[in-house]
Amino acid sequence: MSDYNWCLGPNCHTRETQSRVRGSGDNKVLRTRRIKQDSHYIRNSIFSYFCNNRCLFDYLNKHVQAIAAIAPRSKALETPIKVKKEKYESYRYDWNGKGGAERVPYTATKTTITSVDNSNG
Ligand SMILES: [Zn+2]
């Protein structure tokens, strides 16, 4: 197994950074970055293949049709939930135009969404 992956970003080798400069004298180039596979985190991450977000999104934008075709979705997915609305006393500040504010109580609504365990039907 290789200790490095070349970044898959289609424009990686065109970014003008010191980290990409290779060669000597008049024979210098900008080269695709290579990504050292030196940690469990890197090896199990999307950044095992991309040196940064820009290269990742360049790749996604260039290949979006092919990527979407890997796992297409023909209908929306749904997650069963319960929505609970609770009233509670809160307050706001009404500015009086003279540099001050008045504290005004009001009844606010808190909405809580919880998932439903539908494994029992
Ligand atoms: Zn890159």
The alpha carbon of 8 and the centre of ligand 1 are apart by a number of angstroms equal to 6
Query: What confidence score (pLDDT) does residue 2 get?
Result: 59
Q: Averaged over 87-94, what is the pLDDT? A: 95
Protein residues with C-beta less than 5 angstroms from the ion ligand 1 = 7, 9, 12, 33, 51, 55
Eight-state DSSP code of residue 113? E
d(CA 29, CA 12): 12
Contact 80, 115 (CB under 8 A): yes
CA proximity to 49, closest of 32, 69, 61: 32
Q: Averaged over 85-104, what is the pLDDT? A: 91
Residue 120, pLDDT > 70, answer no
Q: How confident is the model at residue 117 (pLDDT cuts 50, 70, 90)?
A: confident
Put simply, whether the predicted model's pTM sits higher than 0.75 gets the answer no
Contact 68, 37 (CB under 8 A): no
The alpha carbon of 15 and the centre of ligand 1 are apart by a number of angstroms equal to 8
Residue 4, pLDDT > 70, answer yes
Q: Averaged over 50-75, what is the pLDDT? A: 97
Beta strands per DSSP E along the chain: 4-6, 21-22, 29-30, 34-36, 81-95, 101-115
Q: What's the whole-number average pLDDT of the chain?
A: 93
